[in-house]
Amino acid sequence: VIGNFLTRALNHAAIYLILQRATGADRLRRLCVEVLRPRAGERFLDIGCGPAYLLDYLPDVTYVGFDTEPRYIAYARRHYGARATFYCEAFTEAHASGLPPFDAVLLMGILHHLSDGEAGALLGRIGRVLRRGGRVISLDPCFDRDSSRIAHVVAALDRGRFVRDERGYENLVRPYFARVDSHVVHNVGRLPSTEIVMHITEPAARLGGAGGRRGP
């Protein structure tokens, strides 16, 4: 009952944003953006963009956001519609082949919402929309043996049904990218938490690997 209530409350963009800031979850997102070293004029793709507040941390980039939750996209359009484009849908094969290539892709809190099959299909598509030298950053809750008991419970109670350990997340990426640098971090926000940041580059699609196969 509490889980359902929380899920419904979090689907309201304003409540989600208050909680992000109250728990310090926005700090790690800000750090992730810094790792990408965004430059004005670049093209950014944000999948599972939520209310899209990452735009507050980005220079004047061309930003395209995808999210399946209508309330988040409505908020994003109201607040950032003048400087960004939003799709209230999943990022499909049609988008991957129809949109111009991107310099950077943000996967902030999405992979743990996707099954292995869904995540693999998404990563393959991302490999194909990246420009040469493009980079991807992901952030997700993570199980780890060094987590505190509370951090473990926080990860287990997440709305996403596919929280994994470091190896589990890396295994999603490896068929589609030649390089993944992952870091498991503890308690970066105000609550006990364990999260994994992956900096992902060199799509296998360019080398003719698994990511190069086009789906239906």
Ligand X SMILES: C[S@@+](CC[C@H](N)C(=O)[O-])C[C@H]1O[C@@H](n2cnc3c(N)ncnc32)[C@H](O)[C@@H]1O
48 lies in the binding site for ligand X (CB under 6 A): yes
Which residue, 66 or 177, has its beta carbon nearer to ligand X? 66
Which helix or strand (DSSP H or E) is residue 182 part of? Answer: strand 177-186
110 lies in the binding site for ligand X (CB under 6 A): yes
68 lies in the binding site for ligand X (CB under 6 A): yes
Pairing of strands 130-143, 194-203: antiparallel
113 lies in the binding site for ligand X (CB under 6 A): yes
Distance CA 173, CA 12 (A): 31
Candidate list 58, 61, 64, 72; residue touching ligand X; CB under 6 A: 72
Give least dist CB 66 to ligand X, A: 5
Which residue of this chain has its Cβ atom nearest to ligand X in the complex? 50
Give least dist CB 118 to ligand X, A: 7
Contact 113, 49 (CB under 8 A): no
Burial class (CB in 10 A: 0-12, 13-18, 19+), 215: exposed
Give Cα 105 to chain centroid, integer Å. 8
Q: Which residues bind ligand X (CB under 6 A)?
A: 20, 29, 47-50, 66-69, 72, 90, 108-110, 113
